[in-house]
Chain A
Amino acid sequence: MPENMNGHTFHHLQKGFTLVEMLVAVSILVTALLPALFLATRGITTSVYSKNAITAKFLAEEAMEFVRNRRDSNLLSGAEWTDGFLPPCGGGVNANGCKINIFAGSYSITTGSFPGAIEECIGTDCDLLYYLSSPVSESKYGYHQSPPWQPSIFRRRVRVEQVTGNEVAVTVTMTWMDKDLPKKLEVKETLFNLTGS
C-alpha cells in the first residue's frame, strides 16, 4: 500500500471496465464461441447428410438390382434380354427415364411377393418416393401416394442407354433436399446380354 512522506497511506480509485470495454470483451468471447457452434451444427448437418446419402445409396442399388433381375428373368424365360426396361427407361423413347416400383401390384400370399413394376417417369422429375412407417413390420419405400404413406425426401430415376446390341448402361440418379440444399447421388453400371454372341 503506497505511503506519502508523512506516512499517510492512501488509495487510488481503481478504474473499472467501462460498459463499452465489457461489450467489446463479450463480443470477442462470443465471436470465439461462434466457430465452435458452427462446427457443431456443421457436424450435425454432415451427419444427417451422411444418413441420407447412405439411404439414397441403398435405394439406388435397389433400382439397379431390379433392372438386373429383370434382365436375368428375361434370360431365363427366353424373352428379349432388355424386355421391360429398355424402354421404358430409355432406348431413345423416354428421355425422362423410369421409376422402379418394387411394391407395385398386390401382394400374393401364394408367391409371397409383390410383382413389382418398371414404369415410365412422367415429366422431368420422377415421382417422390413415399414411405410407409406404420405398422413397423410393413414399413417400406414405394410409390403409394395416399395415407398412411408419407412423402419421403427422395426421388429416384433410372435411365438405360443402349451401348451395343449386347450392352446397356444403366444410370440410377437419386436426388433429395438436405436442409433446402439439393443433393444428388448417381450410380452407374453396365449390363450385358449373357447369352448374346
Chain B
Amino acid sequence: MSMEASPSTTTRGLARRVYARGLTLVEMLVAVGVFSAVIVISVGAAVVANDSFRKTQLQGTAIANVGVALETMARSIRAGSEYARDLGTPSRFSFLSEEGERIVYRRNGEQVEMSSDNGVSFRPITAPNLKIKNLTFWLTAGSATAQPRVTIVLGGVAQLPGKSQLDSTFDLQTTVSQRTIAGLGSGSPSWGAVCDGSPMLLHTYTEDNSMNSLCNLDVATGEVSSCRSTFPGAASEIVRSGGSLYAVRFGPGPAQSDLYRIDEATGVSTNVATVPEEYDGFCYYYHTVAVDPSIDRVYCSAGAGSEVRWLNFATGILTYAHGFDMYSLQYYNLPRFIASAYDVSGLAYYLGCSSSGCNYGDIRLQTFRYKTTPEDPLPRWAIPLPLIRGVDFDEIFANADVSNFSGEVSMTFGRDGFLYIADQAGIYRVDVEGISYDISDFQGYPSDYVSYTPHDPTSPDGISGISC
C-alpha cells in the first residue's frame, strides 16, 4: 500500500524511480469512510460500555445500599415500640428499641441518619452518592384496639459526581407493624397508673382566693371529703414528687411565685422555695405544673406556652426543659398548653389552648403525647391523640361546634390507668387507650360543687389541681 517511491541507480548512474500504484480516490474515500465508521463505532462502544459499566455498578451499589438502609429501619422498627413521629418533621421518627434505647431515624439534608442515643448524635446510614430526596414516616398510632404501624417512603437519586446523565432514581415504600402486642400474653400494657395507692386528691380554691384546700376524692362514688386548708392565694396544680405534694402559689406580688410543700394529712403547707423573679411568667397563674414520674421533675409551661421548664424543688430554680414544636402548634392552632400529666412511661399529655386565649370558657383542647427526658428535653416525639374535648380539628375550617372546658383545667393519671381531667364543672375520666378516647362526666361528682360559698374551705369554688 506504500505510495513512497525510492530512488534507484542504473548502471549508468542515472536515477530512476519505480512508482507503486496508489489507491484511487474512490478507494481512498471508501477506506477512510470505513475506517472512520469503525473508529466511531469502536470508540462509541467503548464509551457506552464504560458508562454502562459505571451505571450498572452505581445502580447495583445504590439499590443495595438503599435496600439495606430501608431493611435495617424496618427490622428495628418492627421489633421496637413507642412509635413516635414528629408532627412538624415527618421525616423524623423515633421508637424504643428492644434493648430499651430510643432510636431515631431522620433525613438530614440528602442522607438518612440514625441515632441510638435519643437524638444526641447521628450517623449516616446511606452512602454519600445517594441523594435522599424524601423520607416520610406515615404513622398510625396504636390504641387498645389497634396495633401501631408505620409506612416508610424512601426516595432519591443515585448520582456520580459530574455525570448527571447517569442519575438513577429510586422510590421505595414499605410498611411495618409493631411485633410486640401490648396487653397480650405476658406483655404489659403501654399505659398504666401513676398513682401508687393513695387516694385521689383535689386542690380547691375559694372564689376570692382566700384559701386553698386539699380534699379527698373517691373516684368510685365521687364523694369529696376531708377538706383541709393549705394556703391562701391562687395556686398552680398540685403535684406529687418524692412522696410529697407541692403547689406553686402565685402572688401576692405580681412577680412572685412561691413553691409550697403540702402535708397531705393536715393540709399544712410550708414554703420551700421562691421562684426567682427572673422566671416570672413560668409556673404562673393557671399555667400547668406536672410531675414526670420517670425523672421526678416538675414542669411548668411558659406564659407564652412555648416553653417548658424544670422546677427544682429545693431552690425553686426553673431550668429550661424544652420548647414546643411551634410548627405543630400553629398547625393545630394551639399555641399554648394549660395542663399536662405524665403516665408511668414518662409520656406527657398536654392540653392546648386556642390562639384566642385560655380564658374560662374559651379553651379548645387537644391532647398530644410527648416524650421528654432530661437527656433529650426536646418534645420531638409527638403522637397526636384523638380529640378529647373541643374543636374537631379535622373540621376546623367547617366551623365545627366548639365545646369548651369550663374554667381552669388540671389533670392526672389515676391508678386505674384513666386520665382524670378536672375543670370547674366536673371531673372527666378519659380512656387514653380507647380508640375513641371517650370522655364521660364523672358520675358521682357533685354538680353544685361550683356553687359559691365563699370562705368555706369545705365548700370551695373551684379546682386548682387534681392528683393522687
Contacts and interface: CB of A to CB of B under 8 A. Distances in A.
Interface string A6-40: 11111101101101001100100110010011011
A139 B171 CA distance: 9
Nearest to B17: A11
Contacts of B410: none
A47 B147 contact: no
Given A9-B9, A19-B27, A54 B184 contact: no
A75 B181 contact: yes
Interface string A67-87: 011001101110000000000
B177 A50 contact: no
Contacts of A33: 41-42, 45
Counting chain B CB atoms within 10 Å of each CB, the highest count among A37, A72, A141, A195 belongs to A72
Nearest to A107: B138
A48 interface: yes
B402 interface: no
Interface residues of A, number: 67
B134 to A, nearest CB: 5
Interface string B50-80: 0011011001100100110010001000100
For chain B, the bracket of interface size reads 35 or more
Nearest to A112: B384
A131 B155 CA distance: 12
A194 B138 contact: no
A194 B183 CA distance: 13
B139 interface: yes
A181 interface: no
B177 A65 contact: yes
A71 to B, nearest CB: 8
B394 A102 contact: no
Contacts of B176: 65
B48 to A, nearest CB: 6
B171 A131 contact: yes
B314 interface: no
Interface in A29-62: 29-30, 33, 36-37, 39-41, 43-44, 46-48, 50-51, 54-55, 57-59, 61-62
Counting chain A CB atoms within 10 Å of each CB, the highest count among B20, B383, B385 belongs to B20
25 contacts: A7-B9, A7-B11, A8-B10, A9-B9, A10-B8, A11-B5, A19-B27, A30-B41, A33-B42, A37-B48, A46-B56, A50-B60, A51-B170, A54-B172, A55-B172, A59-B173, A61-B174, A76-B182, A108-B394, A109-B394, A110-B385, A110-B393, A113-B141, A136-B133, A140-B138
